[in-house]
Amino acid sequence: MIAAVLIPFATAVLVGLAILWPGGTPEHKRTGVGFDRQTYAAKVTEVQQVDCKDVNASQVPPTGDTSTAEGNSAQQQATGECKKATVEVTAGPDKGRKFTEIVQPDAPRQLEEGQEVVVAYAPDAPEELQYSVTDVNRGTPMWLLAAIFAVAVVVVGRMRGVMALVALAVSFAVLTLFILPAILQGSNPLVVAVVGASAIMLLALYMCHGLTARTSVAVLGTLISLLLIGLLGSLFIGWASLTGNTDDNTGLIHGLYPEIDMSGLLLAGVIIGSLGVLDDVTVTQTSAVWELHQADPSMTARQLYRAGIRIGRDHIASVVNTLVLAYAGAALPLLLLFSIAQSSVGTVANSELVAEEIVRTLVGSIGLVASVPVTTALAALVVAKDKGPGVAGVPGVAATDPGSLTSTGRMKAVKLGGGSGRRRKK
C-alpha cells in the first residue's frame, strides 16, 4: 500500500522538478535600495575622534546606515565627539581604495580600528560618496558557530549525524538552486513550494533514516499533513485577505518582480516552515510505534495505536508550544511596538503583520496536530502486519537483528526455547 502511494508521488516530484527547474536566477538592474545593493568586503584601518561640529557635510553619506543616525541629515548632525573612520575596500574592482566614514555618537553601530565591515557601492553617486559602510562582517563567528554545530551533531549522532548534515546541505541546495530561482522566474510559488518541500522531505528522511518501511510511513504521514497545511493555508490566507506584502523587504521584492504572487509566496513560506517540525513529529511517532511492537510483538494494531497516541499527546503539547514561541520570538520587536502604542489585543491581531504570523502559526500547528494520529495509525497498521521470521521463536523480531530484542523479547525467547543453554546442559 505504501509503495503504491510513494512511487507515484516520488515520480511526480521528479517530473515537477524537471518542468519547473529554473536554470538560474534572472538578472535585473540593481536599484541600490535595501538588500538590492552591490556590496564588497572592507576593513577599518584608522579611527580618529573629531568634533561633530567640524565634520564636513560632504563626508556624511546620505544612506542613513552605520554612519548616521536614522533619519538624520548632514544639517542635523549630533553634537559631541564623532568618529572619523578610514575604511579600505579589500575586494572588488576598487580593491585598495580608501574612503572616510563619519560615525555619529548616537549611531546604532560604532566602528573600531581593525574591524572587518561590509560596504555598499553606489556607482551613480559622487566619487567621495560612492562607498559607505552598511554592516559588520560576521563571517568568522558565523563559520565558527557552524563548525561547533557540525562537530556536536557528529559526536552525538555519529553516522546518523553525518547523514543529517549531508541532508541539511541538500535541503539548502534545493532551496537556493530550485525554490528561490523558480519563484523569481514567475512560477507559481505554491506549486514550487510543494514540489521543493516534497523533494527535501524525500531526500532528507531517506538519507537520515534509511530506505525502510519505517521511513516510508514517516514520509507518507508528512505528505498527508503537508497537503492539509496547504489546503488550510490557501483557504485562510485568501479569506483573511492577506497580501503577503507587509514590510520593506516584501515591498522591494514586489517592486523588482511585480509578477510574483505575494500571497502565494506567503503560503509557500508556511509550507516550507512547517516541514522541518513535521519531519520531527512523524519520525518520532513512527519510531515509537516500532519500538512498542518490538517490546511486545503480540500487540494488535489497535493496541499499538492507543499506546502510540499517548506518546503523541505529549509530543503535541511540546511541539505546538515550541512553534508558537518561535513565531512570537521572531515577531517580538513588532509586538513591543504595539505594546508601546497601547493597542488592544483585537487591534494587534487584526493588523496584517500580526495576522500573517497568527495564520502561519495556527495552520502549521493544525498540520502538526493532525500528523500525530495519521502517522501513528499508518505505523500501527504497517507494523502489526510485519510478523517477521522471529528469533528463537519470538514473532515479529528479525533473526538477523538479535540486538534489537528488548528485555520482554528476551524473556519470551527464553521461555519458548526452554531456558538458557546452561540449563539444557544440566
For the cut 50, the answer to whether the pLDDT of residue 401 exceeds it is: no
Confidence bin at 343 (pLDDT 50/70/90): low
**What whole-number distance in Å separates Cα of residue 182 and Cα of residue 425?**
71
**Structure confidence by residue, pLDDT tens digits, 252-306:** 777 777 778 888 888 888 888 888 788 888 988 999 999 999 888 888 888 899 9
Nearest alpha carbon to residue 256 among 63, 37, 39, 30 = 30
* pLDDT at 416 > cutoff 50: no
- CA 300 to CA 296: how far, in whole Å? 10
- Residues forming beta bridges with residue 399, ordered by sequence position: none
Q: Let me know if 314 is exposed, middle or buried by CB neighbors in 10 A (0-12, 13-18, 19+).
A: exposed
Give strand pairing partners of 394.
391
Output the pLDDT for position 246: 75
- Report pLDDT digits (tens) over 307-329: 899 888 887 877 777 767 776 77
Give pLDDT, residue 128. Answer: 75
The 8-class DSSP code of residue 50 comes to E
Neighbours of 420 (CB within 10 A): 9
Model pLDDT, residue 341: 66
φ, ψ for residue 208 (rounded to 5)?
-80, -35
| Number of other residues whose CB lies within 10 A of the CB of residue 173 | 12
Cell of 395: 514473532
Q: Is the dihedral of CA 335, 338, 342, 345 positive or negative?
A: negative
Is the confidence at residue 403, as pLDDT, over 50?
no
**What are the strands, taking DSSP E only, across 37-192?**
38-51, 81-89, 98-103, 116-121, 131-136
> In this structure, what are the phi and psi dihedrals at residue 43, rounded to the nearest 5 degrees?
-145, 140
d(CA 426, CA 418): 12
pLDDT at residue 406 tops 50: no
Element (H, E) at 257: none
Q: What's the average model confidence in pLDDT over 142-166?
A: 92
Give the predicted TM-score (pTM) of the model.
0.70
Identity of the amino acid at 267: L
